[in-house]
Amino acid sequence: MESRDQDRIQPESIEQKYWHAIIHNDNSYDGTFFYGVQTTGIFCRPSCKSRAPKAENVLIFHYVEEALARKFRPCKRCKPTGERVPDQEWIYGITDYIEHHYAEPLTLDVLATVSHGSPYHLHRVFKRITGRTPVQYIQEKRITEARRLLENTRLNITDIARHVGISNPAYFITVFRKHTGLTPAHYRERHDNS
């Protein structure tokens, strides 16, 4: 049922045969075209077993060079360039995704899905490359942004927590204190007095 619905959901810019090949992982189209997912910045072969993208986020490329010229990174799973993606480049793509999506619900599973890897492998490689786990990296990004908002806005603590992707204000205060040694209110007060 779901694949029939996906067959019907197709933007005007993607030919039906391409969309059908993407959602059915049709390897007979490998080498004929590649598709890039704008929200992740990754491009794949039609046969890629990654989760089907939203149609409105897909761009079609006839050559690998087109995708690379548009700054898309090759999928680590289906290797559209025929080469293994270096771990450092893969992790750079994930940290870049976090930088732009830190306010959204981010879990290891979400990051693994958008980066076309397994959660276990992602966690292990991310820690080896960055020295931090993905969760630590996300928290640091959120706290850095929260500090900026505390210093430069009059938003209340609850709004700042939501703005940085933490829906529970009490949890936000706990995480903020763990990272800075201060509650958000004390951090703002100290900044206001300096």
Catalytic site residue 44? yes
The Cα 14–Cα 55 span in angstroms is: 8
* Six-digit token string for 86: 């270096």
Q: What angle do CA 169, 143, 41 make, to 5 degrees?
A: 110
Q: How far is CA 135 from CA 36, 126, 131, in A?
A: 26, 10, 12
Residue with tokens 């763990």: 178
Q: In what order do the strands lie in the sheet with 34-37?
A: 58-61, 34-37, 42-44, 73-74
The catalytically annotated residue of 44, 48, 75, 78 is 44
Cα–Cα distance, 78 to 47 (Å, whole number): 8
**Closest C-alpha to 164, from 189, 145, 178, 182:** 145
In angstroms, the CA 91 to CA 133 distance is 11
**The residue to which tokens 């794949």 are assigned:** 44
> 3-state class of 165 per DSSP?
coil
Residues that are catalytic:
44
